């Protein structure tokens, strides 16, 4: 945990320096900063295929926004985005036809380090590569404050934003922001999280049911690889207010439920769920105390897994004896995989998500309809009972076996940092050279 907090602190310091330099809106705190270069990609290749979620169906045509006209200029598809951001350069004609500012509002710096390390710098690079300057966009972080996120949106619209890219802290806040934006004629793109009951124009994310399926499949494989004969597991979840957490659970439950129902596995506990790592650790400890025969756990992300692994280590749990899962391909998560305390992690090429969101924003800013090749799916808003036009991207499961060909190859995590000190031998065994 201490190492994790230090890493977060370093990322936040770096982020604050970049905000002053390149954001025209200082509200909200964190902006464009990264612990690695924005050209460092969390993708296993220079281009990643898109896929539709199990809870979504492919869309044959892209819907128009309220003020959209026919699409013109350069066109991109959901599979156009690459490590070099060349698709964004191809959208310069669309960008030059637009008016007003693009405002990006990210949610926090606690639930995941990704927002400062990757999302903000990738979004900035996408906007700038398309030809926008710092006076044409703003990137702020709500720092976990729901009222702050609403204020950030209102401030951005007052400052001339004509399109918002927003990752809502929760659906209630997101719906408030979208209602306010709609009343001012400003379309909103839900970024990464869907606002249930909202009025956004589009949604950009990874296939979150597929994320959950990868966690479930990875967990199943790990139980076999680590020789757990009688799986008795604790199932952890993300925050119940986060629709993504619901979709993740839907995905891994589709893998584990049949095994539980068949009596092959035992699900011992299902705590309420959280994205706060200390709270997750407490939930896990309480579940393990109540069910001491537990020998494995499904954990929805690396951040929540880290303090749980620390707890298990202090209770003399040996490597490759208590399978745990994760998501986000954090440095600590990857090191826990190398050390044999975590089975794997879901790795999401965030640079794809950033480019897709910016591409949509550029079309909306220019009053144009995004190409049907870009909007590749529909996502259910279960609250409003509507289908949301979406760009859905493909995640990947990473273990020690493919770590070198994914996160290291793409410089998502520096090999020298990953393989420092106690992890050098494990890196060598995994074919990773620092």
Distances (CA, A) of 59 to 51, 62, 161, 371, 373: 11, 7, 28, 11, 9
Q: Using one digit for the tens of pLDDT, what is the confidence trace for 245-265?
A: 999 999 999 999 999 999 999
In a domain, 24, yes or no: yes
- Give backbone dihedrals phi and psi of 315, rounded to 5 degrees, phi first: -105, 25
Are residues 256 and 369 located together in one domain of the fold? no
For residues 165 and 313, state if they share a domain.
no
- Look at residue 73 in the predicted model and tell me its pLDDT: 47
Q: Is the pLDDT of residue 307 over 90?
A: yes
pTM comes to: 0.77
Q: Which residue shows structure tokens 């089975």?
A: 343
Q: Looking at the structure, do residues 125 and 94 belong to the same domain, yes or no? A: yes
pLDDT in tens, 95-131: 999 999 999 999 999 877 889 989 999 999 999 999 9
Shared domain for 202 and 214, answered yes or no, is no
Average pLDDT score over the chain: 86
What's the pLDDT tens digit per position in 393-428? 999 999 999 999 999 988 889 999 999 999 999 999
Report how far residue 150's alpha carbon sits from residue 175's, in angstroms, rounded to the nearest whole number. 10
DSSP assignment letter at 175: H
pLDDT of residue 75: 76
Tell me the residue range of the domain where 301 lies: 209-348+397-429
**Residue 102: strand pairing partners:** 137, 163
Both 267 and 327 in one domain: the answer is yes
pLDDT value of residue 12: 37
Residue 113: the pLDDT is 80
| Domain CATH code at residue 325 | 3.40.50.2300
Asked if residue 434 is part of any domain, the answer here is no
Query: Per DSSP, what are the bridge partners of residue 135?
Result: none
User: Do 284 and 310 sit in the same domain of this protein?
Assistant: yes
- Do residues 367 and 414 share a domain? no
Q: Is residue 99 domain-shared with residue 199, that is, in the same domain?
A: yes
Both 319 and 374 in a single domain? no
> What is d(CA 220, CA 214) in angstroms, rounded to the nearest whole number?
10
Query: What is the count of structural domains for the chain?
Result: 2
Q: Which of 5-14, 228-237, 271-280, 414-423 has the lowest mean pLDDT?
A: 5-14
pLDDT at position 74 is 61
């Amino acid at each position: 945990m201490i190492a994790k907090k230090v890493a977060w602190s370093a990322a936040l310091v770096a982020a604050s320096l970049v905000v002053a330099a390149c954001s025209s809106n200082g509200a909200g705190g964190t902006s464009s900063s990264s612990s690695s270069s924005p050209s460092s990609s969390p993708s296993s290749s220079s281009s990643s295929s898109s896929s539709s979620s199990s809870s979504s169906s492919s869309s044959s045509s892209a819907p128009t926004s309220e003020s959209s006209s026919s699409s013109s200029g350069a066109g991109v598809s959901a599979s156009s985005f690459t490590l070099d951001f060349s698709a964004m350069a191809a959208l310069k004609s669309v960008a030059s036809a637009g008016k007003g500012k693009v405002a990006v509002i990210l949610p926090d710096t606690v639930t995941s380090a990704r927002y400062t390390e990757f999302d903000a710098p990738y979004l900035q690079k996408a906007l700038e590569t398309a030809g926008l300057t710092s006076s044409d966009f703003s990137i702020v972080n709500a720092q976990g404050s729901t009222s702050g996120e609403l204020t950030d949106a209102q401030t951005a619209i007052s400052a001339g934003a004509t399109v918002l890219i927003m990752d809502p802290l929760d659906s209630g806040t997101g719906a408030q922001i979208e209602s306010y934006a709609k009343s001012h004629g400003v379309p909103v793109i839900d970024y990464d999280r869907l606002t249930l009951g909202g009025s956004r124009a589009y949604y950009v994310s990874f296939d979150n049911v597929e994320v959950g399926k990868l966690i479930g499949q990875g967990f199943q494989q790990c139980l076999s690889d680590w020789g757990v004969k009688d799986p008795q597991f604790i199932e952890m979840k993300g925050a119940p207010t986060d629709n993504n957490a619901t979709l993740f659970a839907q995905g891994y439950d589709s893998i584990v439920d049949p095994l539980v129902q068949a009596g092959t596995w035992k699900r011992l506990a299902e705590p309420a769920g959280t994205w706060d790592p200390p709270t997750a650790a407490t939930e896990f400890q309480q579940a393990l105390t109540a069910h001491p025969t537990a020998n494995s756990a499904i954990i929805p992300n690396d951040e929540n897994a880290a303090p749980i692994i620390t707890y298990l280590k202090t209770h003399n749990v040996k490597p490759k004896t208590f399978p745990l899962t994760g998501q986000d391909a954090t440095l600590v998560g990857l090191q826990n995989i190398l050390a044999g305390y975590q089975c794997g992690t879901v790795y999401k090429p965030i640079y794809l998500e950033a480019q897709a969101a910016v591409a949509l924003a550029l079309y909306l800013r220019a009053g144009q309809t995004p190409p049907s090749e870009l909007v590749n799916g529909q996502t259910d808003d279960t609250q409003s009972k509507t289908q949301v036009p979406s760009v859905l991207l493909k995640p990947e499961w990473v273990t020690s076996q493919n770590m070198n060909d994914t996160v290291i190859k793409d410089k998502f995590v520096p090999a020298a940092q990953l393989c420092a000190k106690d992890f050098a031998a494990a890196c060598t065994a995994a074919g990773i050279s620092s």
